[in-house]
Amino acid sequence: MINEPAYNRKKFEDWIIEAVQEIPLYCDEWTNFNPSDPGITTLENLTALQIIQENYIKQLPTSLREDMLRITGFKSEAGKCAKVLLSPSEIESDILLPANQRFYVGDVPFEITKEVNIKNNRLIYAFSKHKDEIIELDNILSTEFPISQKMFGDVPQKEDALYLLMESEPDRERDMILYFKLDDSRRKNVSNDSIFSKTEWQCYTEKGFVTFTAKDLTGGFTHSGEVRLKWKGIKPAYYEEGEHRGYCIRCVLKEADYDIAPSVFNVYGFLFEAWQKQSQSLCYTFPQKDDISVHCNLFEEGYIWVFCKEEGENFYRRYKEAGSYDIKGRFFTIEKTGFGSLIFRFDKERFGHAPGMFPDAVKIVTYSEMVMKSYDLGIVYGYDDQEIQLPLKRVMNDNFTLMARRLDENGDFRYDFIKPMRTGEEELGYRLDETNGKIIIYNAGEYLDARLFVAGLATNIGSAGNVLENNEFIPEKIDGVKFINPGRAYGGTDRESFQDVKNRFLQDIEKPYIAVKASDYEQLVRDIPDICIDKVKASVDYVHNTVNLCVRPDIDYRFSKLSPQYINRINEYIDKRRLLGTVINIRQPEYVSVTVQATIFVKKHFKNCKETVESLLREKLDYINSDVEFGATLSYDDIYNSVEKLECVSYIRDFSMYTSKANLVKMKENDIRPQEHVLLYPGDFYIEYIIDIET
């Protein structure tokens, strides 16, 4: 019923003809296909019932199909904005970025959500200590000609450390964010909890190195990502290393059993977060204070509303800017301290009213001119699924807030701020159609006849906001400063349609959670986080109820074998997903060389025939660096014909292939059949090249 069958492709008569034609496949004794036969009558009745059921299914509304998917745990996911890390470039002095500062990469806007102080600071020196040997890493601080460098040598050791020196004292008011661009050329399922390494980040202080609270999203330098360090009272001190001096942070390897030694292209600091969105209306919330300082560029458009929750009330009253000193009522004053910077002051003694002692006592709403023209959305009428159009489309669910205005018992206006999907019986319940920019009210609650206004609204472009790395971000209304994103933006998604949810459900049905078939085991091994898998083949031994897994890791060594970490990781992952009673046997890959002996007559006018022939043979015989799987038969005819078809070859007189490991391969006629855990590779070539004088 989730899928929509093709109802009108066949008529009743077509179904009957098809069913009758299949009767002999199931029952040889049924030979009477006339309408008078009771079996045909039963078949006609069942066919009619099937068509009736399909017609009922056709009439099911999309909302019911959505409910059916929701029962199975699949519901439409809200759209999300993309996140990116920005690194300052070409700054000469400290810069204060206000909340909701906007950046553009092309026509795509990004914003920060809170004030960021960018200090004129940079990384000036990078090195590592590997077994008391200093490895210079100066190249990783330059982005002009990135060259990968092994951070801790070819074989990292426990207690090796990476050191980074800063020019000046960092901003300790916010987290320090670094971004490491590592060599990710190997295929690996990313995991932030590596089985190969454990790291500890430290800062040099007057008391020596002190440990940070760190969030390492590189998996201990196993893939590119950010590292976030929290200061929590740590005060850095100057550190000296040879001729270099500066504030120092370092990363110490507490475990270093790498399958692939980490190589780094660049390290970037000091980054901050931005989100792909464009705020058209913002709703700030503050606890009770006499003075509230806010920095927001949207204030410059001049559309500002202020609301306060007073003692003894659970709703908001609107406050207005005071026009004279002697006025009494719900008023406040504003002082402008800079571009987009305002201080809101409340004075109960002066005006007679002030916000109460609540954590959400004050709401400050500011609008862009575009939204201000249509921020009044209309009245709640109370009929089922009332739809109200918003001024913009592609609206973000997380940033959306409605403001509802009602009359209290004294005839004064009271205001409430309401997020989507409230469920209380007396609440105003509505859902947001993000893509089409409208709200659907499913429960009016106590808000019948209330007037609705936009309070918080931002738009985004969903998955299109996942911009690639190394873009130049231009800040709005700030000249002479540029920013880049060392890593691509991520996390941007579009609101799922019903078709999207249905497709995800159908894909999930096909995804193996419990392995049954050999292909299930192969897919599960490829999906294991944190390890590099090049080839995998599963075979089932039904007699002993055993699944044999042949796995080749994708690491630097040509004849690679599974390390103990890999074997444990595979066993742990598969053990949770195997059928009870099934035994898993992981087999190491074996490598067998193939020797070729031949006499080849070549055409006399061709040069480099030897290189051409042997290049073809190396390609055909190489199971390691190709898509050929474990245990694949090496066909004599295929190799022979491929060589014979070369333009430089006249004819072949003798041609043979053989191996030295008879226990791992079998010869059938002239074909080589390796065992299921064996990969072939080219060995020695004993080829005599004779010029065919007749050509």
Give dist(CA 344, CA 592) in Å, integer.
79
- Chain centroid to CA 419: 27
Q: What is the DSSP string of 150-209?
A: EBTBSS--TT-EEEEEESS---TTS-EEEEEEE---S-----SS-SSEEEEEEEEETTEE
Question: What are the CB-based long-range contacts (under 8 Å, 24+) for 654-658?
Answer: 654/597, 654/598, 654/599, 655/596, 655/597, 655/598, 655/599, 655/600, 656/596, 656/597, 656/598, 657/594, 657/595, 657/596, 657/597, 658/594, 658/595, 658/597
Give dist(CA 508, CA 170) in Å, integer.
47
Cross-strand pairs, 102: 111
Residues 6+ apart with CB under 8 A from 512: 519, 520, 523, 524, 577
Share of the chain above pLDDT 70, in %: 97
3-state secondary structure string, 566-633? Answer: HHHHHHHHHHCCCCCCCEEEEECCEEEEEEEEEEEEEECCCCCHHHHHHHHHHHHHCCCCCCCCCCCC
What is the number of other CB atoms lying within 10 angstroms of the CB of residue 56? 10
Give dist(CA 130, CA 149) in Å, integer.
14
Burial 68-89 (b: 16+ CB within 10 A, else e): ebeeeebeeebbbbbbbbbbbe
Q: Is the pTM of this model over 0.85?
A: no
Here the tokens at position 299 are 């204030």
Parallel, antiparallel or unpaired: strands 583-587 and 546-553? parallel
Name the strand (E) or helix (H) holding 123. strand 123-130
Burial 594-617 (b: 16+ CB within 10 A, else e): bebebebbbbeeeeebeebbeebb
Cβ(615)–Cβ(687) under 8 Å? no
What amino acid occupies position 208?
Answer: G
Helices H, strands E: what count in the chain?
Answer: 10, 42
Q: What are the φ/ψ torsions at residue 28 (nearest 5 degrees)? A: -70, -25
**661 conformational bin, left if phi > 0, alpha if psi -120 to 50, beta if neither:** beta
pLDDT value at 1 more than 70: no
Cβ(153)–Cβ(179) under 8 Å? no
Cβ(94)–Cβ(118) under 8 Å? yes
Q: Looking at residue 7, what is its pLDDT?
A: 46
Whose structure tokens read 């006849």? 449
Cβ(665)–Cβ(678) under 8 Å? yes
Strand order in the sheet with 225-230: 149-150, 263-268, 176-182, 225-230, 213-216
**Picking from 408-422, 510-524, 549-563, which range would have the lowest pLDDT averaged per residue?**
510-524
pLDDT in tens, 145-166: 778 889 998 899 999 999 999 9
pLDDT in tens, 38-77: 888 998 899 888 888 877 767 777 777 777 788 888 888 8
pLDDT in tens, 101-116: 899 999 999 999 888 8
3-state secondary structure string, 209-268? Answer: EEECEEEECCCCCCCCEEEEEECCCCCCCEEEECCEEEEEEEEEEEEECCCCCCEEEEEE
Here the tokens at position 120 are 């004129």
The CA–CA distances, whole Å, from 429 to 224, 375, 385, 389, 398 equal 43, 19, 10, 16, 16
pLDDT in tens, 252-281: 999 988 888 899 999 998 899 999 999 999
What amino acid occupies position 27?
Answer: C
What's the mean pLDDT when you consider all of the chain? 89
Cβ(418)–Cβ(402) under 8 Å? yes
3-state secondary structure string, 483-536? Answer: EECCCCCECCECCCCHHHHHHHHHHHHHCCCCCCCHHHHHHHHHCCCCCCEEEE
The secondary structure of residue 48, as a DSSP letter, is H
What amino acid occupies position 286?
Answer: F
Parallel, antiparallel or unpaired: strands 678-692 and 590-603? parallel
Whose structure tokens read 């949207």? 298
Mean pLDDT of 233-243: 89
Name the strand (E) or helix (H) holding 673. strand 671-674
Residues 6+ apart with CB under 8 A from 3: 502, 506
Cβ(549)–Cβ(588) under 8 Å? no
Q: Looking at residue 695, what is its pLDDT?
A: 66
Cβ(451)–Cβ(379) under 8 Å? yes
The CA–CA distances, whole Å, from 315 to 355, 399, 415 equal 11, 21, 6
The CA–CA distances, whole Å, from 247 to 134, 194, 264, 266 equal 18, 29, 22, 19
Whose structure tokens read 């800079």? 338
pLDDT in tens, 662-683: 899 999 888 999 999 999 999 9
Cβ(653)–Cβ(563) under 8 Å? no
Three-state secondary structure call for residue 138:
helix
The Cβ-side half-sphere exposure at 632, using a 13 Å CA radius, reads: 18
Share of the chain above pLDDT 90, in %: 55
Confidence at 187, pLDDT banded by 50, 70, 90:
low
Give dist(CA 523, CA 406) in Å, integer.
58
Cβ(263)–Cβ(174) under 8 Å? no
pLDDT value at 457 more than 60: yes
Mean pLDDT of 411-437: 92
Here the tokens at position 160 are 């090796």
Give dist(CA 695, CA 690) in Å, integer.
12
Give dist(CA 600, CA 363) in Å, integer.
88
What amino acid occupies position 355?
Answer: P
Give dist(CA 658, CA 675) in Å, integer.
15
Confidence at 356, pLDDT banded by 50, 70, 90:
very high
